[in-house]
Amino acid sequence: MNHHPISNSSPRAATGVAVSRACSARAVVLATFAIGLALLLAACGPGGSPDAPGSDGELRFQWVAPDGFPATVSLHRALDGQRTGETHAYPSGEAPLLGEALADRVLRVRLDEPQRVVLRLNNQRGEPLRFWVAPHLPRPHSGDTALMAQCLCTGEVYEVPAGGSWARVLEFGIRRRGAVTPLGVTHVIVLGELPQ
């Protein structure tokens, strides 16, 4: 007779041992994963990222304008109800409704979840200001495919009233696929009319 270490049990019992071992291995993997996740959350806080709580990445905006540009440029969070692409000019003494200012011009985002922001130009001269915007430039350039953007480089000429302001609701995000973060976005503001 041939004797095997587990030959005292039936084939059904041997199968039970194998299943039990597989379940034990799975339990160890799940426990290890849970411990790792708990350590990550403890290190990063509730947002899951030590650098940007509540976000996976960040967009850093830069606005380039010619010397002597007569308007100030600011970026703000959009308010509920403001739709992407909404564009309004406000006469002197009337101000747009704006959310919190992004003073550092950095928008922290979750991947694949674009956010709306409002770009505001405040014209400080006594005559209307006409401008257009060249296509945005992502930095690094490899981030171009990950950038989600509905912005203002539309081939339109915009006008800010004398002493007034102008605002446009933009939308930006970073795609998870090919994500680059931080991702810089540069817009070049050009005075006057579009070249023919």
pLDDT tens figures, 64-115: 999 999 999 999 999 999 999 999 999 999 999 999 999 899 999 999 999 9
The two tokens of residue 135 are 């296509």
DSSP state of 143: G
pLDDT band at 153 (very low <50, low <70, confident <90, very high): confident
Q: Cα–Cα distance between 121 and 103 in angstroms, integer?
A: 14
Give the contacts of 119 (CB within 8 A, at least 6 positions apart). Answer: 73, 74, 75, 152, 167, 168, 170
pTM to 2 decimal places: 0.70
Give the contacts of 183 (CB within 8 A, at least 6 positions apart). Answer: 57, 58, 59, 60, 138, 139, 140, 143, 146, 147, 174
- What mean pLDDT comes out for the span 6-22? 42
Q: Give pLDDT, residue 191.
A: 92
